[in-house]
Structure 1
Amino acid sequence: MNAPVEAGSPAPAGPDGPAGELTNRISHPLRPGRWLAAGVTALILAWLTWSVAVNPNLHWDIVVEYQFDRVILQGLWVTIQLTVASMVIGVVLGVVVALMQVSDSRVLRTGAVAYVWFFRGTPLLVQLIFWFNIALIFPEIGLGVPFGGPKLVTWETNALVTGFVAALLGLSINEGAYMSEIVRAGLRSVDPGQQEAAASLGMSRAKIMRRVVLPQAMRIIVPPTGNQFISMLKTTSLVSVIAGADLLTVAQRLYLTNFEVIALLIVASIWYLVLTTVASVGQYFLERRFSRGFGTTVPGNLRGRVARNLRFSGSAR
């Protein structure tokens, strides 16, 4: 039982007493600097928003007019096709090259290292221009006996390697070099003891890789792969230098005819933001799916993930 409180004794400190006030001050300290910075930031954002909204030189009526224009939507569809196809080919190449890197064969390891070294070491823009002008080196592409033997079938390179094909080759082969490092890191993250235990049970090397290693490596592979996909959405804009008919290319063609440069660039930027946001949401839920059962959670929340992916990608390619 609690001891009775004597008459005239001070009341015990509670949540509303001196101790409670001290606790509140400690847990919620005053931060005037933070409030000042937040106020200045809000003021700057409001000023920028107002300046952009009322600026007559931005021609918002042109932006609205061309946002769902047929030509813009065709370029948007090409961008989506390039992104998806390049990532699929890049992931396949990355898995193959990563398996070559962890192979016991020195020849396979050397070939994989040379591939990664070359395509990661040269700029993507240079690779795109190279593929677009491949006909200067090989005017014809054919199938036949190698080392100077007769050719059975030949095609003209200019007819075969169009702007879209050159863009697909450049983006996918370059992406394969980056994906191989991501996949290799995921494979190395799996405890080698599990592979030894599976081998002791009589499982083949291919079965161990398919049933033991890859399922566990996916939680390491998926997050950076999602980031690569989002980066690829924005990297496709480089295709404009080889007339790849992507979103930025068609926007440039339009503003060369009507001289609405800024308005058409805003139209393209809005669509890039929409694609990046949708991809960020998909990445968030995909990471949650592959993080189950490992005692880990997806870092950050959905809003933070979207905001981070909307930032400019500074990775040099």
Structure 2
Amino acid sequence: MSYHWNWGILLSPVSTGEPTTYLGWLFSGLWVTITVSLSAWVIALIVGSLFGVLRTVPNKWASGIGTVYVAIFRNIPLIVQFFIWYLVIPELLPVSMGNWFKQLPPSAQFFSSSIICLGLFTSARVCEQVRSGINALPRGQRAAGLAMGFTQWQTYRYVLLPVAYRIIVPPLTSEFLNIFKNSAVASTIGLLDLSAQARQLVDYTSQTYESFIAVTVAYMLINLVVMQLMRWVEARTRLPGYIGGK
């Protein structure tokens, strides 16, 4: 193999004149990836829970809205959704809002579009997990909540959701991991995340293997941290008699 390995290139000053190293570029991209992914996960969890509940309420119109939402966001490829949020949605907004978005710095446009797109795309998947968790509960739990005088909302809030969330921690872990990996697609609209910085490093140094091995290790470390965190959450929240319970 004629490839010339040079791990020291990561500690070399960047050729653009910035006061940083190529490793600094990767750390900058890592920070963007983590920030975008965690922000999108908050959106995904909130919106996904809302539509997951809608899909289980005894109202065909409400459940129909949830079904349409899931169908739209799950059937359109993620990369297409990124371009829709970045290029199309600003043109469909009221003129004042669209102009405000277009006047933002490019980095802010990339960042906000990525968070919204990734959050809503993942929320459709979280919605299905929440729906499955609620439907896995015995019907008697809903009836018991209503018999105690709870409203429909209170029954979900105090009876169904606290148990459903505990059941779906394992599949939510998978979605949490996926959101970090899917964030790499945001580089297609210009976001300088971890994968984009890796490609930039290759463009300036031609050290392909060092760049992408470093990025691979970074994604593996993120996954290990997420898995350990979610295992701790699962151990703390598991219920006897349910999946994962003792």
TM range (shorter): 0.7 to 0.9
SS in 2 for 1:156: helix
Q: Does 1:99 align with 2:36?
A: no
Secondary structure of the residue aligned to 1:104 is: coil
Letter of the structure 1 residue corresponding to residue 171 of structure 2: P
The partner residue of 2:156 within 209, 212, 216 is: 209
Task: Provide the secondary structure at the position in 1 that maps to 2:99.
Answer: strand
The answer on whether the counterparts of 2:32 and 2:193 sit within 8 Å (CA) in structure 1 is: yes
Residue matched to 1:277: 224
Report what 2:3 is aligned to.
57
The whole-number CA distance in structure 2 between the counterparts of 1:293 and 1:188 is 18
Asked if structure 1 preserves the Cα contact closer than 8 Å seen for 2:167 and 2:242, the reply is no
State the Cα distance separating 1:73 from its structure 2 match.
1.1
In structure 2, the partner of 1:159 is: 103
User: Could you say if the C-alpha distance between residues 62 and 123 of structure 1 is closer, same or farther in structure 2, counting changes exceeding 3 Å?
Assistant: farther
Q: Does 1:168 align with 2:115?
A: yes
Unaligned runs of 5+ in 2: 13-20
> Which of 103, 108, 124 pairs up with 2:78?
124
Secondary structure of 2:103's aligned partner: helix
Q: Which amino acid aligns with 1:243?
A: G
Matched, 1:186 2:133: yes
Provide runs of 4+ in structure 1 moved above 4 Å: none
Distance of 1:124 and 1:201 partners within structure 2: 44
Q: Which AA in structure 1 matches 2:49?
A: V
Could you give the per-residue CA deviations for residues 177-230 of structure 1, whole angstroms, max 9, x where no partner exists? 111100000111111112212222212222211111112112222111111111
Q: Quote how far apart the aligned CAs of 1:130 are.
A: 1.7
The one of 267, 279, 283 aligned to 2:214: 267
1:241 aligns with 2:188: yes
Larger Rg: 1
How many Å separate the matches in 1 of 2:234 and 2:6?
38
- Counterpart of 2:155 in structure 1: which amino acid? I
Q: Distance in 2 between matches of 1:140 and 1:254?
A: 39
Letter in 2 for 1:84: L
**Matched-pair contact (CA < 8 Å) for 1:287–1:298:** no
Equivalent residue number for residue 73 of structure 1: 27
Q: How does 1:10-29 map to 2 (within 5 A)?
A: none
In structure 2, the residue corresponding to 1:155 is in which secondary structure? Answer: helix
- Higher share in helix: 2
CA contact (8 A) 1:62 1:263 kept: no
CA contact (8 A) 1:90 1:173 kept: yes
Moved more, 119-128 or 109-118: 109-118
Counterpart of 1:137 in structure 2 is 91
Distance 1:240 1:91 in 2: 23
Deviations 1:19-41 (A, max 9, x none): xxxxxxxxxxxxxxxxxxxxxxx
Normalising to structure 1: TM-score of the pair? Answer: 0.67
Judged with a 3 Å threshold, the aligned counterparts in structure 2 of structure 1 residues 210 and 127 are, in CA distance, closer, same or farther, namely: same
RMSD: 2.5
Higher relative contact order (CA 8 A, sep 6+): 2
Superposition deviation, residue 164 in structure 1: 1.1
Paired residues of 1:183 and 1:221 also in contact (CA < 8 A): yes
Q: Distance in 1 between matches of 2:56 and 2:92?
A: 34
Alpha-carbon distance in 1 for matches of 2:25, 2:47: 33
- 136 and 196 in structure 1: CA distance in 2 versus 1, 3 angstrom threshold: closer
Distance 2:222 2:59 in 1: 42
Q: Note the residue ranges of structure 1 that are not aligned, 5 or more in a row.
A: 1-54, 144-153, 300-317
Rounded to whole Å, the distance in 1 between the matches of 2:93 and 2:140 is: 52
Percent identical among aligned pairs is 23
